[in-house]
Structure 1
């Protein structure tokens, strides 16, 4: 039986943010400089490329320290996999404090780093980006907060914009035109809602209604009648929920299911992974719903290799460490002198990472190829596979 406390706790909320890879609030973003000269140095591809990776360490938080270990190990795997390139990967640890991340980045720059991969948190990544401007170094942060993207700062984390666009685009192709959006009133919910609204507009669909709720049973209960009326009255074709917090998705979807609202009435879709943790797959309210997945075959291969090398499962975000190093290695391995500057990093063909194809955009955001999946009788079923390349017309 799935229950939640009368009020969602702050600790649970923070755990949900970390598990989903949701970035914390950012400082002022760096300025966008895509129209100016290339940011970042040129390299000699025949010589080792010095890459600095900033990961969590010494934080006193076992989960954060494990994540830092996973990111570093994944980066080492990518360096070892480099074909035709020599990657001199150097790991620097930092606490979540901005000053700690900036200090680590400045040390890396003084020791000859050509590019910074990391840190994890958006505010620290933004601070590092500002600090590295005078060094003419790019920063490939592990954050997925697009508010810090631009200039010399890129986000490697899978963004809400990517997920929303993938699901809405697929939905429109299936004939869904009228969307109802359900979102939390916290920071992540607001960011998710903006991504959904943008995706709906970009794909020529209509946002027919929206319902905001607080992180409490009472607030969720209060919106159920209006959602039920819209779904049962055929006023909408789809219900898109942010449901970021760990306890919200089970309660929200079960309450809708208890009211008789299923994907047969209006297609349910979610901005977060509905298959993690695995117990969610048995929830009545998520059956038939849609969510986005990375290229699962490539992800499984990485997890198997990682376990074999390090004797433990990788953290869910470890793939970002691999992707950052792999992108630089792919460019350097092809003899590209622009492997660490904006010209090379934003190549339209993109790169192949642990979770499939991805590319960095000139505005500092990213685009990732994802699959669309549903849940059928407690089993994940991929209904539209992840693309393996960026063909013309694909994406933004």
Structure 2
């Protein structure tokens, strides 16, 4: 059970990193296009690489959720036949490498998965010379590019959405507070890049040792820097299983009142739901997928399988959504990089999304806040690219 920590308690070690229709808003391939040809009207072999066979019980549950979501998506397709083939990776990079080769040898025209960055990178490299693209469930943009696309929500996407919203609402003197670990530094860089792109102002960055004492020790420096740089917003990279509960308690106590300083988060502040009870997160901003679409997916999933999907289970549904929409267009080059990266994007159970030529993605996110311990959407997710937040 999630523990809400007071100052004297142990610091939690954080973790790192109808339904929505299958809509293809446009299908105009862009740039140099590589990938396999398909036979229009015939079943399309799609390989699904999941961490099935892992000794980790969490991986087993994740694998089942991804498989279920993909099958649910296929059942919702109209006019498209997907021949889904499941390949266990046990969560291992070497197994994913072999599974990708086997899948392509057996006719796969595109690979959906794996989840973990090392495994996804290994799978993509294994089939790079076979002209097959990989849509991984990872959110690690360091592995993206070439024939590898990441479907997971990225720090860059979230940072852009929140910084853009903050700037439009006169909260454009943004200070970044991050853990001095890999995840925190990646988050910091994403926020600083977003500040630059959105023409906001960087009002300082403060790192802290990833420990309870580290957070406590950094509090006075955070307050001093915020005052010196006239910060009117503080962007936190921490999540609810890490430093977020402690930071949102200590910083207001130090004098950075939420009434004048807007708190923002790079991670979901509504997961787990107990986080909503924290006094310090009230009024904070964070980004999330379109909640109405996601709720429809969860309800449909529960009705079909008797339980809720894993938080990233919807990525498998979205992957099939993109593949199905492209195949439905009836073109032989439907699964090439040019088709996958067409600019208008796709619609799935997490809202609109599109794949970029560099292998990253852009997702239409809502901006949410917490009021009276409940999530309130203050800026809805866009329904098309080019709208709010883009």
Q: Return the TM-score normalized by structure 1.
A: 0.91
**Contact 2:92/2:119, CA 8 A, preserved across alignment:** yes
2:70 to 64, 75, 80: 75
**Contact 2:161/2:389, CA 8 A, preserved across alignment:** no
The separation in 2 between residues aligned to 1:252 and 1:231, in whole angstroms, is: 14
- Residue 130 of structure 1 deviates from its aligned partner by 0.9
- Residue 366 of structure 1 deviates from its aligned partner by 0.2
1:252 to 244, 247, 253: 247
Range that drifts further, 332-341 or 348-357: 332-341
1:196-235 matched pairs, under 5 angstroms: 196-231=191-226, 235=230
**Contact 2:65/2:310, CA 8 A, preserved across alignment:** yes
Structure-2 residue corresponding to 1:135? 130
User: Deviation above 6 Å: which 4+ runs of structure 1?
Assistant: 4-7
The separation in 1 between residues aligned to 2:69 and 2:291, in whole angstroms, is: 17
Range that drifts further, 207-216 or 231-240: 231-240
Residue 142 of structure 2 is aligned to residue 147 of structure 1: yes
**Contact 1:6/1:216, CA 8 A, preserved across alignment:** no
- Residue 139 of structure 1 deviates from its aligned partner by 0.6
Residue 20 of structure 2 is aligned to residue 2 of structure 1: no
Structure-2 residue corresponding to 1:98? 93
1:362 to 350, 357, 363: 357
Q: Secondary structure at the residue paired with 1:380?
A: strand
Ranges in structure 2 where 5+ consecutive residues have no aligned partner: 18-28
- Residue 334 of structure 1 deviates from its aligned partner by 2.1
Residue 341 of structure 2 is aligned to residue 346 of structure 1: yes
1:374 to 359, 369, 372: 369
- Residue 367 of structure 1 deviates from its aligned partner by 0.2
1:181-192 matched pairs, under 5 angstroms: 181-192=176-187
CA distance change for structure 1 residues 316 and 393 in 2, over 3 Å: closer, same or farther? closer
Bigger relative contact order (CA 8 A; separation at least 6): 2
Structure-1 residue corresponding to 2:159? 164
- Residue 185 of structure 1 deviates from its aligned partner by 1.1
2:260 to 259, 262, 265: 265
- Residue 37 of structure 1 deviates from its aligned partner by 4.0
Q: Secondary structure at the residue paired with 1:54?
A: strand
The separation in 2 between residues aligned to 1:256 and 1:393, in whole angstroms, is: 31
The separation in 1 between residues aligned to 2:229 and 2:209, in whole angstroms, is: 26
Structure-2 residue corresponding to 1:120? 115
1:50-69 matched pairs, under 5 angstroms: 50-69=45-64
Structure-2 residue corresponding to 1:313? 308
CA distance change for structure 1 residues 153 and 303 in 2, over 3 Å: closer, same or farther? same
**Contact 1:85/1:333, CA 8 A, preserved across alignment:** yes
The separation in 2 between residues aligned to 1:303 and 1:94, in whole angstroms, is: 26
CA distance change for structure 1 residues 61 and 329 in 2, over 3 Å: closer, same or farther? same
Ranges in structure 1 where 5+ consecutive residues have no aligned partner: 23-33
CA distance change for structure 1 residues 394 and 373 in 2, over 3 Å: closer, same or farther? closer
**Contact 1:4/1:247, CA 8 A, preserved across alignment:** no
Structure-1 residue corresponding to 2:296? 301
Residue 189 of structure 2 is aligned to residue 194 of structure 1: yes
Structure-1 residue corresponding to 2:331? 336
2:278 to 279, 283, 287: 283
**Contact 2:139/2:153, CA 8 A, preserved across alignment:** yes
Q: Secondary structure at the residue paired with 1:339?
A: coil
**Contact 1:188/1:244, CA 8 A, preserved across alignment:** no
Q: Secondary structure at the residue paired with 1:180?
A: strand
